[in-house]
Amino acid sequence: MSMKMGWRWYGEGNDPITLSDIKQIPGVEEIVWALHSKMPGEIWEEAEIKEVVDQIHAAGFDATVVESVNVHDDIKIGLPTRDKYIENYKQCIRNLSKFGVKTICYNFMPVLDWARTDLSHDNPNGANNLYMNWGEFAYFDIYILQREGAREDWAEFSKEHKWDRDLVAEADEIKKTSTPEQDHALVENIIIKTQGFVSGNFSEGDSAPVQKFRDLLKLYDGIDKKKLQENMKYWLEAIMPICDEYDINMCVHPDDPPYPVFGLPRIIGRAEDIQWMLDAVPNKHNGLTFCAGSFSAGEHNDCVAMAKQFAERTHFVHLRSCYIFPNGNFTEASHLGGRGHLIELCRIFEKAEQEGKCNSGRRLPMRVDHGMTFTDEPGGVFDESNHGHNAGYTLLGRMFAMGQIQGVIATVDDELGIEYKQPGFYD
């Protein structure tokens, strides 16, 4: 059997794409789901879990992968209250186990989940995609967020990278021409439209999202990389006995982008970071979500080498790829292009699965991650821009990406002598 193909679904009322829509997409066996109404630290109650799992099962899908059960800030910061939230997390694991969940994806990023400055950047073909402009990101930090130490941090960031850019000077130039509307768009893209549905910390109705963001950053004063690592180790050691009892894999999602931002430490962005985590808590249930897109956004990462290094502790795979421009800005690439080298990753993970070396010997779940947004005149067949989808999670864009990846997997399986099947067809 090949990797188990999943589709991320945000649930009824949160996702314009229905389970019946997804059922028609060849190859999808698994719905990757979550209780998106739950705040970090809250217990996922059995009745709430059952309602969603029953919906997924009724549509003919498995529901063994959850993305994500968010980790409360008190755990990441290491406050005395963390033990209460750790106990709540343990209960979430217990409750999820009763309904067949075997894989829980999470992240340990402080405050900010994945970040982009533009959620609809034009591609040469007329579609659009997610995009990061480091100059605009620096401008947001220095002039909109007005974070203490931001100018100094971006000056150092400019020196560390060989992009021949002065990001502080770029931010100053943007300040001269930026309009309130452009500033608002950056706030929407960096805080509201990405962090809201991921962490639950923000919503469209927030009256002062920038101040709220500042307040969250202040919580991490004095938390450096070493301290954040210590807090992650404490948390993992606390939950591993529960994971052992119920045979549930925890798989951390890497930092996106894999660089320190806003003065916050990032601890899952490089090969040495991953190795530290696996060595610190050497339990088979402590593993990795191998997100090729997040890793490939960092010029320091070699995705192929990392896949070979960490295949045996990979419990979940996200297949997407980023393209880094010569100036360091990056965008989502074609799933057959960019720095992710997804063809070779499929070879690595398919082989590891056949040898029973990943995901504790179970089939390795994967999903295509992000997809371009096709554009058209309002009401046209390609008009996806106003469908209400979460950023990066279109229907047509992900279907196209999945078609690319299914072709790759079918070819790789043929090379390995694995019978390839697509659920939904007579053969």
Determine what percent of the chain is predicted with pLDDT higher than 90: 81
Per-residue pLDDT at 362 exceeds 60: yes
Together in a domain, 254 and 283? yes
Tokens of 305: 């080498």
**pTM (two decimals):** 0.94
- The domain boundary, picked from 165, 193, 218, lies at 218
Together in a domain, 195 and 230? no
Together in a domain, 63 and 197? no
- The domain boundary, picked from 192, 218, 244, lies at 218
| 117-126, 199-208, 287-296, 308-317, range with the lowest pLDDT | 199-208
Taking a C-beta distance cutoff of 8 angstroms, is the pair 379, 315 a contact? no
Per-residue pLDDT at 326 exceeds 70: yes
Together in a domain, 250 and 187? no
Together in a domain, 152 and 207? yes
Together in a domain, 229 and 354? yes
CATH classification at residue 238: 3.20.20.150
Tokens of 230: 């210590």
| 11-25, 123-137, 191-205, 256-270, range with the lowest pLDDT | 191-205
Residue 136 one-letter amino acid: E
The span from the CA of 275 to the CA of 264, in Å, is: 21
- The domain boundary, picked from 168, 200, 218, lies at 218
pLDDT at 386: 65
Q: How many domains does the chain have?
A: 2
3-state secondary structure of 324: strand
Residue at token pair 């949160």? 14
Together in a domain, 285 and 396? yes
Together in a domain, 85 and 230? yes
Structural domain containing residue 160: 128-218
Together in a domain, 204 and 233? no
Would residue 28 count as lying in a domain? yes
Per-residue pLDDT at 427 exceeds 70: no
Would residue 426 count as lying in a domain? no
Helices (H), 144-179: 150-160, 167-177
Together in a domain, 332 and 258? yes
Q: How many CB atoms lie within 10 A of CB 302?
A: 15
Task: State the catalytic residues.
Answer: 253, 291, 318, 369-370, 393
Together in a domain, 364 and 243? yes
Would residue 353 count as lying in a domain? yes
The span from the CA of 308 to the CA of 294, in Å, is: 17
pLDDT, average across residues 244-249: 97
Q: What's the whole-number average pLDDT of the chain?
A: 92
